[in-house]
A and B are shown apart, each in its own frame.
Chain A
Amino acid sequence: MASEAQVLTPAVKKSSSSSTLVRVGKYTLVRLITLFVTVVIGVYLTILIANMGGYVDNIMRAEIQERITLQASQSQAWKNMDTETRQKFVEDKIALEVKRLGLDQPMVVRSFRYLFNALTLNLGRAQNMTSDSGSKTVRLIILERLPATLLLLGSANLILFFGSITIALSLSRRYGSFWDKLIITLSPTSAAPPWFYGIFLILIFAALLKIMPFGGLVDAPPPENRIEYLLSVLKHLVLPASALIISGLFLTIYNWRTFFLIYSSEDYVEMAKAKGLVSRDIERRYILRPTLPTIITNFALLLIGLWTGAIITETVFLWPGLGRTLFRAIGLYDIPVIVASTIIYAYLLAITVFLLDFLYALVDPRVKIGSGS
């Protein structure tokens, strides 16, 4: 309707183009600010939760006390000191460690410092964790694990995404066929999470058939040869990736199929069929085109979802990815690592949400930025 009105009255169009710019500009600004405020609040809440309102501080202090006292009682060099000197030495060391972790400052002050550092992506140094290469820099700890997670989740999710869309498209054409009914029947199986299927896969292929490894990234010891190393990684990748794919497959196919079916019952699709267009053309021009915004949204969310890793699947398969690093960081009360993981996800999400608005307008001429959302 709107486009029709524009065609009929070209004079109005000109005056509206400058107002479009203002509208888009204003919308962009408001959207950016709300997204930023959302990120700030979300990250600050995470920081507070990671600290449990000072509760974790007490745990950490007790832990430092215990560790250093134990160290003192076991150290040969300190044994020769008299009790008083040793006591003072221990207290100094505890104070130093408390200061290193920033526990001497109140939580409120520290929480804002964490927030500020996080927002400026100054990820800093981990408190208790070290990377496998021995670094305490949060950036390095994360970068070290990123490839493993990207490999696992990337391969699994991309196969899942494109595989399910392709299958769903062909199913929506064969509506009511045997395969269609099979997918509908199997879709409740997606109620179980990937790790659950992982356990079954390990049971069948690793324990019973002994053709696949139980877990890990490569054989131990890792092969010297680069090609052998790659093959070994691929072999270890098969089971966890299959677990991720199986868990999502049937429900994803079902959802896409239903979604495409709704669009294929539109009048213009019927019209195209009546015109005698090839089914491939109908799919591409009349079904995929209007559903493109949804497909893009899902794909974008998939991409940023890679960042979080799959905590439990990685744990079950002993896969050295980001999810397991985050889990380990929580176990070690390492707030910088937890916050770093959260802030990067929050930024990625905010940027994606922001860009998607513009992308919709690009791929779908019916969408106008900043009008009545």
Chain B
Amino acid sequence: MNTLRKTFQQISRYPSAVAGSIVIALLVIVAVFTMITIPYKEAIRLWRGGEEVWYQNPKYAAPSWVNLFNKKKLPVSFTIGDGDDAMTKTVEQRGEGTSRITTLYTFDYNYDGFPQELLLYFKTIYTEKQPFVSITWKTPDGRELRIADFGVDPTVTYRFSQDEKLKRRLGGGNAVEALFADPNSEELIPLKGTYQVVMLATAFEEGSDLNAEFVFHGQVFGLAGTDHQRRDLMVPLLWGVPIALAFGLVASLGTSVLTMIIAAIGAWYRGWVDELIQRVTEVNLVLPFLPILIMVGTFFSRSIWVILGVTILLSIFTGAIKGYRAIFLQVRESMYVEAARAYGASDIRIIFVYLIPRMIPLLIPGLVSSVPAFVFLEASLAVLGLGDPVLPTWGKIINDAQTNAALYQGYYYWILEPAVLLMITGLGFAMLGFALDRIFNPRLRGL
């Protein structure tokens, strides 16, 4: 207990260790928060769901906070659906089963750019005769533009930019831009103010109904932006935290503890056991580490747990085992081990109760400092296209961004967000591990 307090006191003297500990604590909090608020199944659904999950999101949209730094404000994406204040729906019965449904979508538009796309997602109920809608667009300066009139199937999506008739009526250019353009300006700039979409529908049957969701694909979206498949990047960014922590910690813990146990066994038994461990270490040096991981990923399984297992297996028999062995050989000769042997302690007892606990101070700094290497290893494999096919991770975001030439196209947020998180995680563990190394390693203390 006393030594523990002393250690904490020493840690608090290193500012980098304090900073590292705070970063790690924050990451753990975010990881727990993520796993509670977005359960695993939900995360997988959001990550791999398909168009019906992501339809509300624009493609390649930067995060909304870029507007804070830009003078030119980009339109933020939104959706107006059932129950929103911005939508009013009135149903008027006309007799003989016919009804008239008027839906109004009202929104303010105060941006300097144009949206990517406007959509209406219809859900209709009818048995034989489909309802008929006519859509009108009302601009802030009081103009009324006819958008389209058509009969509506049970589920149908109306995309403003893909309606050729509308395009021709608006002058042949981009229809969405024409709807927002200021008619009094020479340049193509949007007219700011309150817009309204008026949807008049006539249903011809008893019990027939029509609902539509108005989806506005702006140029920025949410806190993290979206990728090429309209996925909200917030999901992989958040879920990347627990995955990176789990991979890094399990790999470094597994590697260092197993290395230590094997080194202790070798040093205790000596003879052929020790010799075998030494030879295996030498063989392992010849094996190409990354190519083997790539081979396992390419040929066998890209599951993160398989990769984790192989990583640990290949990382046990490295140079570290020789260092531990040298120290164990010294400890083995010490008096208290002699005493343990005298009272008849078994080999296993001596190894696990007397030898290994002695080394824990040496183990901890190495364990903490090797976490970033494993976190980055997972990301590296993902960058090569060998990331886990199911899990949303930071490496996969970078891989998607790379294959879609994000840097070339100017989607910087796409790479920067996961990269900054990776950097923070790596630095947090590296700073703490570095300080611990200086605390526990008396030879370095003064240096």
Contacts and interface: CB of A to CB of B under 8 A. Distances in A.
Interface of A: 34-35, 38-39, 41-43, 45-46, 49-50, 52, 55-56, 59, 175, 185, 187-193, 195-196, 199-200, 202-203, 206-207, 214, 258, 261-262, 308, 311-312, 315-316, 326-327, 330-331, 333, 338, 341-342, 345-346, 349-350
A315 B398 contact: no
Interface stretch (B72-80, B118-126, B127-135, B411-419): B411-419
A191 B380 CA distance: 13
B287 A42 contact: yes
25 contacts: A38-B279, A41-B283, A52-B295, A52-B300, A55-B300, A59-B299, A175-B447, A188-B430, A189-B430, A190-B430, A191-B376, A192-B372, A196-B376, A196-B379, A196-B422, A199-B407, A203-B412, A206-B407, A261-B447, A262-B447, A311-B290, A311-B294, A315-B384, A316-B402, A342-B291
B318 to A, nearest CB: 13
Contacts of A327: 294, 384
B408 A214 contact: yes
Given A56-B299, A200-B419, A338-B295, A38 B16 contact: no
Contact of B292 (A41, A46, A196): A46
Given A52-B300, A195-B383, A199-B407, A308 B429 contact: no
A42 B300 CA distance: 20
Contacts of B384: 311-312, 315, 327
Contact of A311 (B283, B291, B402, B415): B291
B286 A195 contact: no
A192 B422 contact: yes
B291 A338 contact: yes
B383 A315 contact: yes
A127 to B, nearest CB: 14
Contacts of B426: 188, 191-192
Contacts of B423: 192, 196
B204 to A, nearest CB: 52
Interface in B350-384: 369, 372-373, 376, 379-380, 383-384
Contact of B299 (A187, A189, A193, A333): A333
Interface residues of B, number: 47
Nearest to B371: A191
Interface string B36-80: 000000000000000000000000000000000000000000000
A330 B298 contact: yes
Contacts of A35: 282
A341 B291 contact: yes
B286 A191 contact: no
B339 to A, nearest CB: 29
Contacts of B295: 49-50, 52, 330, 338
Contacts of B443: 262
A50 B287 CA distance: 12
A33 B443 CA distance: 37
Contacts of B294: 311, 327, 330
